[in-house]
Amino acid sequence: MAKVYRSAVIDASADRVWALVRDFNALPKWHPAIAESAIEGGLPSDQVGCIRRFTLRSDGGLLREQLLALSDLDRTCTYNILISPMPVANYVATLRFTPITAGDKTFAEWWAEFDVTSGPEQATTSDIGDNVFVVGFASINKLVSGK
Amino acid sequence: MTKVFVSAVIDAPIERVWAKVRDFNNLPKWHPKFSRSHIEDGLPSDRIGCIRNFDIAGGGGTIRERLLTLSDIDHTFTYCILTSPLPVAGYVATLKLYPVTVGNQTLGVWTAEFDVTSGKEADVVDAVGNGTFGKAFEVLNERLARPEGAI
């Protein structure tokens, strides 16, 4: 089982950040790697159990992910991967946003556990950590802080 | 029941911050609000259940607190107040550190829950939240932060 953990400071309040990322169908709005997204079966994107179906901007690769938990109280979102082009299995990830009271900023965390099904584990874990999670944080920061 | 939540970024790697705060007997060595501390009965300061006995600087009285949990893996500890000059009851507090991987910094989160037994609740919350927790993070950042431009 591989684990990835990344965290960063976002220069806006946790409520502002959460308003952007809470929508499970909003990846294309804030993650530069994602082209299009839809919730299957026309479900609301905050209905736990709903599935988002989205494509990568780079090569059109398709992913399906299921919302496992959503908490407005803790500002967390947990989901797993059903289908993806990545060499991973049993992938479960969580996003969490914690207020930083000194300066009214946000502590963003994103972590995942999964099995790597082919290729070197390190390559897959750093690809997910740096190119998915950290890139996502930087993009959120740009959108909500205007910097 | 009153809750206090204070969090701040400390510009140092988590291992350095944890090394500073982990010692339950060390508070007065880095927090200017407190002076003198010893662990009662000569126990080690990382023994769960041990009691620290320390003073509020400037003759503010003595506080006794019991260590309830300590985790090197999660960089956190929890303690309760046994006796103190503060008008609080049922006081339990937790300090937890998180790594900020982008920039190799640390987030400190300090929380407490308690009942205020006399006086204005807002004053007690301010003394705990700003005077103790917020001040702690400021001081840790001043002491541990890397000089501008250092890697």
Domain boundaries of chain B, sorted by first residue: 2-144
By the 8 A CB rule, do B115 and B2 touch?
A: yes
| Structure token digits, residue B41 | 């009965």
Instruction: Supply the pLDDT for residue B150.
Output: 56
Distance from CA of A138 to the nearest CA of B (A): 10
Give me the mean pLDDT over the A88-103 stretch.
97
How near does any CA of chain B get to the CA of A92, in Å? 20
The minimum CA-CA distance between B101 and chain A, rounded to whole Å, is: 5
User: CB distance B107–A137 less than 8 Å?
Assistant: no
A147 — pLDDT class (breaks 50, 70, 90): confident
CATH of domain B2-144: 3.30.530.20
Q: Decide: residue A45, CB within 10 A, 0-12 exposed, 13-18 middle, 19+ buried.
A: middle
For the CA atoms of A73, B71, A124, A69, the dihedral, rounded to the nearest 10 degrees, stands at: -20
Taking CB atoms within 8 Å and a gap of at least 24, the contacts of B79-85 are B79/B24, B79/B52, B81/B114, B82/B51, B85/B56, B85/B60, B85/B61
Residue A6: closest C-alpha in chain B: B101
Contact state of A6 with B134 under an 8 Å Cβ cutoff: no
Q: Which of B6, B102, B134 sits opposite A134 (nearest CB)?
A: B102
- The alpha-helical segments, DSSP class H, found in chain A are 14-21, 27-30, 121-126, 135-145
State how far the Cα of B9 lies from the Cα of B142, in Å rounded to an integer. Answer: 11
Q: Which residues contact B42 (CB under 8 A, 6 or more apart)?
A: none
Spell out which residues of chain B touch residue A137, defining contact as CB-CB under 8 Å. Answer: 102
Domain that holds residue A104: 2-145
Q: Which residue of B7, B99, B102 is in closest CB contact with A101?
A: B7
Distance CA A101, CA B94 (A): 16
The torsion defined by the Cα of B120, B125, B131 and B135, in degrees rounded to 10, comes to -170
Q: pLDDT tens digits for A108-142?
A: 999 999 999 999 999 999 999 999 999 999 999 99
Q: pLDDT band at residue B146, thresholds of 50, 70 and 90?
A: confident
Amino acid identity, position B85: P
Confidence at residue B149, expressed as pLDDT on a 0 to 100 scale: 54
**Per the structure, how many domains does chain A have?**
1
- How far A4 CA lies from chain B's nearest CA (Å)? 11
Interface of A to B at Cβ within 8 Å reads 5-9, 98-103, 105, 107, 109, 134, 137
Please answer yes or no on whether A102 and B98 come within 8 Å at the CB atom: no
pLDDT tens for A40-86 read 999 999 999 999 999 999 999 999 999 999 999 999 999 999 999 99
Q: Which two tokens stand for residue A96?
A: 């969490």
CB contact under 8 A, A100 and B105: no
Please give the distance of CA B146 from its chain centroid, rounded to a whole number.
Answer: 22
CATH (domain of A87): 3.30.530.20
